[in-house]
Amino acid sequence: MRGIDLSLELVAAKFAEAFKILGGDRIVEAAKDFNCRHPAKRAARSVRQVADAFKMDIARVTTADVQAWLDGREAAPRSVKNFRAAASGLFKFAEARGYIAKGENPVAGTERIKIRNSEPIAIFTPAELRRLLAAAKNDFKPVIALQAFAGLRSAEVMRLDWRDVKLSRGHIELGANKTKTAARRLVPISANLREWLAPHAKKTGRVFAHTRAYFHVLQRDTAAATGHEADEKTGRAALAAVEWKQNALRHSAISYRVAETGDVNRIALESGNSPAMIFQHYRELVTPEDALLWFAIAPAKGKAAPRVPVTPPAPVAGRNRALQMN
């Protein structure tokens, strides 16, 4: 046959076989679909060229490969769900550019992660936060303070530039490119947070100029440094380390802020959450007295560790009248 280097008999045999497999005369349709999924001129791209998860041609990544990668993540269900969403976005990017065939996103067939909304929000007590701040390395203290008193997400802190921290105006400006929701927001700076930030503030430059991996190392090391063994020479008793709780600094900031103000809508704007989320998860976790203690934690002057009052003081008007630690 013209243009086909096959005999008429072989072509007829192949047609008959394809006809049988497809259950009818759908051979042209099947050929077009195959060509779409496996184009002869598709530009090969390694996953490393698009992301670092796998080291192979991205079109060869299977659902089983992605599922095995997700199963290997040692993280909370919500974090695994976020990993899955990020991976899906990667393959959608590849699909849009012809690196994989349309409809061949391998993430689509992986197990969907279910998050139980009934799981309690983990928060720190004022005493635990005081110990974490005392144990943290000097340049990590403002990072902890930004999460604990302004409720910033860890990713937002890692994107934050000192020019966004308006100490003189009393707020942090998070541009749409720095927030999870891609919406600009202003976060007030409490009086105690100002004290934690002022010694480190610069005109410009990243607030945390290191990698995400090092960020997690500092979290782990800070928590570990809050504990110590018993010392017979000094008579110091053993002290268990504070357990690091995932996202608990932000959860704490929102919880104590809600208890302090009672204004769910206001805190939703400050934290970048919906009022429904704030109302459902953060109300009545702590008391107004707890909130006074939390926002009173400030650097101790001339001493090694921050202090908080042993008992709650009388209420004062306004958040910015944080208590002076002596």
Nearest Cα residue to 322 out of 307, 164, 268, 123: 307
Phi then psi dihedrals of residue 264, to 5 deg: -65, -45
Angle between helices 248-261 and 141-150 (to 10 degrees): 40
Element (H, E) at 186: strand 185-188
Neighbour tally for 171: CB within 10 Å: 17
Contacts of 111 (CB under 8 A, 6+ apart): 67, 70
Contacts of 173 (CB under 8 A, 6+ apart): 164, 166, 184, 186
156 and 179 in contact (C-beta within 8 Å)? yes
So what's the pLDDT on residue 85? 86
Query: Residue 310: helix, strand or coil by DSSP?
Result: coil
Helix, strand, coil fractions of the chain, as percent rounded to 5 = 50, 5, 45
Phi then psi dihedrals of residue 239, to 5 deg: -130, 120
Whole-angstrom CA distances from 51 to 46, 55, 210 are: 9, 9, 20
So what's the pLDDT on residue 40? 54
Task: Out of 2.40.128.280, 1.10.443.10, 1.10.3480.10, 2.60.40.1220, select the CATH number for domain 126-294.
Answer: 1.10.443.10
Mean pLDDT of 319-325: 36
260 and 291 in contact (C-beta within 8 Å)? yes
CATH architecture of 8-109: Orthogonal Bundle (1.10)
The residue behind tokens 């197990």 is: 111
Lowest-confidence region among 16-25, 33-42, 108-117, 294-303: 33-42
- Which pTM value belongs to this model? 0.60
Mean pLDDT of 198-209: 94
- Confidence check: pLDDT of 326 > 50: no
Mean pLDDT of 161-178: 91
Query: DSSP assignment, residue 165?
Result: E
Tens-digit pLDDT profile for residues 103-117: 888 888 888 877 655
Phi then psi dihedrals of residue 228, to 5 deg: -160, 160
Neighbour tally for 158: CB within 10 Å: 18
Query: Residue 173: helix, strand or coil by DSSP?
Result: strand
Mean pLDDT of 150-155: 93
Residue 271's pLDDT band (boundaries 50, 70, 90)?
A: very high
Average pLDDT, the chain: 81
Q: Where are the domains of the chain?
A: 8-109, 126-294
> Could you give the angle at the alpha carbon of 14 between the alpha carbons of 11 and 19, nearest 5°?
125
The residue behind tokens 């000097």 is: 138
Tens-digit pLDDT profile for residues 67-110: 888 877 666 677 788 888 888 888 888 888 888 888 888 888 88
